[in-house]
Amino acid sequence: MKKTTFVALLLLCSPCFAGDLKASLTSIESQWATIYYKTPKAEQEVAYQKLLAQADSLAQEFPKSADPMFWQAVIKATYADQQDGLSALKAINEARDLLTKAISIDPKTMDGSAYVTLGTLYYMVPGWPIAFGDNNEARKMFQTALKINPTAIDANYFYGEFLVSVNELKEAKKYFAIASKAPTRSEQDYADNKLKAEAAMALKNINERKISHVKKMFLSLLNPDTAK
């Protein structure tokens, strides 16, 4: 099952320290990762709602900081998978707008991950008239992220997935190879190694011609007939 947004898995539940932006962001990232990777589906909705409230509060306290907006967008996008079609559509549009605003404040926010997230949304959501999906925009977002951080595991991995989705397998192999060998971050060792393993498996699948079709995010929710 393909992941729709990005890397992290550390703590089960850390308090959000509003007085310290960095500590608060680390806490939110850790909690999001736990929900995304470990929490049973039946419990995710409430967990996402509580975490979004933390991110909203942090964004209000630091209105000129791009990073809280980034996490608001990530939480909204992943939480959308738990919602009905109209609510999901509203959530992913809000996520896109938050990412665009975060980038306008700081183009290098989260070391390029805002572009990775935005690129993933552009290629995984349906296109017009249902949503804003656009492969050309997705490609631009991923390439911009890679200019900011050429060895980033998430940028290389998700760009590789995008290239697979548009049947550019030879090119995808290059990015999966980079992601599978990229250095991990000490504070995100588990999550980075998890994504590196997925990159290595994706590379193996291409070499063995075991490529599965990547369905667009929320496609079955918003238009069931096109998801078949």
What DSSP letter does each residue of 189-217 carry, written as one string?
HHHHHHHHHHHHHHHHHHHTT-PPP-PPT
Q: Tell me which of 138, 161, 184 is where a domain ends.
A: 138
* Structural domains counted in the chain: 2
- pLDDT by residue, tens only, the chain of 228 residues: 344 333 332 222 233 333 489 899 988 988 888 888 789 989 999 999 999 999 999 999 999 999 999 999 999 999 988 888 888 899 999 999 999 999 999 999 999 999 999 999 999 998 988 889 999 999 999 999 999 999 999 999 999 999 999 999 999 999 999 999 988 876 666 677 888 889 999 999 998 887 664 544 443 333 333 333
Residues 93 and 67 in one domain: yes
Is residue 76 a contact partner of residue 112, using CB atoms and an 8 Å limit?
Answer: no
In a domain, 21, yes or no: no
Residues 129 and 165 in one domain: no
Residues 129 and 47 in one domain: yes
- pTM for this entry: 0.82
**180 CB neighbour count, 10 Å cutoff:** 21
Residues 45 and 107 in one domain: yes
Is residue 209 a contact partner of residue 221, using CB atoms and an 8 Å limit?
Answer: no
Residues 164 and 97 in one domain: no
Residue 89's domain is classified under what CATH number?
1.25.40.10
Q: What is the domain extent for residue 126? A: 40-138
